[in-house]
Amino acid sequence: MADNPYSSLKVDLSGQTAVVTGASQGLGKAIALALGAAGAKVACVARSADKLAETVGAITATGGQAEAFPCDAKDSAAVNKLIDELALKWGKIDILVNNAGITRDTLLPVMSDADWDDVIATNLRGCFLFARACSRHMMRARYGRIINMSSVSGLIGNAGQTNYSASKAGLIGFTRSISRELAKRKVTSNAVCPGFIESDMTKKLGDALKDVVKERVPAQRLGVPEDVAACVLFLASPAACYVTGQVLTVDGGMTG
């Protein structure tokens, strides 16, 4: 793994298991790769089995361990079944990264009920369902790391994203609340707020708009998924045992 971009962090997750939702692409895929490269056995979760296969293949190709688990993050029964079966199969669940999320951008006056409900259900309810299911096993084991992927939109808002911003702000309150419930059982809960990160969505932006984005970011560049994954890797590690209830913003100084 000479080309492993996370090797300088010296994080060893050998023997640990991790669940990453939304692992089929973008940030979720980068996070799954980072955890796998650090030695964790990764359960890659998303709705698309085909895309999950790509993530699993990328992890196993470098000697890591991973399996694909198609699941709808909004389905309570399916989530409970998946996590209970996974805990039985693998013996424990050490790390949960709640990354599954969608957008349905439009201005408030014309936002439909479905636009609102779908985003809240996936981004916020899905996080609740996976955290609840995993926390039961983590509390019994007296060890766990829960990392919820929020966004700078949840901190400062964004026009055309009232649904998305509300869901991501909700994740911050959720994260801080469960950190107070779980800390005594040695389970940490933290949120990560990415800023403008290179993705399939930003690739569709014109160069002029990219320049505007860069002007708002003191680092003078868009972030890359690996910037975010490295921060998640630290929060998932044993070294972060005294870090809980925190919000780590990864935005190149944009909200600084």
Report DSSP state, residue 239.
Answer: G
* Residue appearing with tokens 């700078």: 152
Chain-centroid distance, C-alpha 78: 19
- Based on the residue annotation, tell me whether 242 is a catalytic residue of this protein: no
Cα–Cα distance, 38 to 236 (Å, whole number) = 10
Cα–Cα distance, 119 to 93 (Å, whole number) = 27
* 178, 198 contact by CB (below 8 A): no
Nearest Cα to 97, choosing from 187, 194, 5, 21?
21
Cα–Cα distance, 18 to 20 (Å, whole number) = 6
**Which uninterrupted H or E stretch holds 51?**
helix 49-61
Cα–Cα distance, 134 to 94 (Å, whole number) = 9
Q: Which of 6, 143, 164, 242 is catalytic?
A: 164
- In the chain, what are the helix, strand and coil shares in percent, each to the nearest 5? 50, 15, 30
Q: What torsion, rounded to 10 degrees, do the Cα atoms 240, 168, 120, 232 define?
A: -30
Which residues form the catalytic set? 164
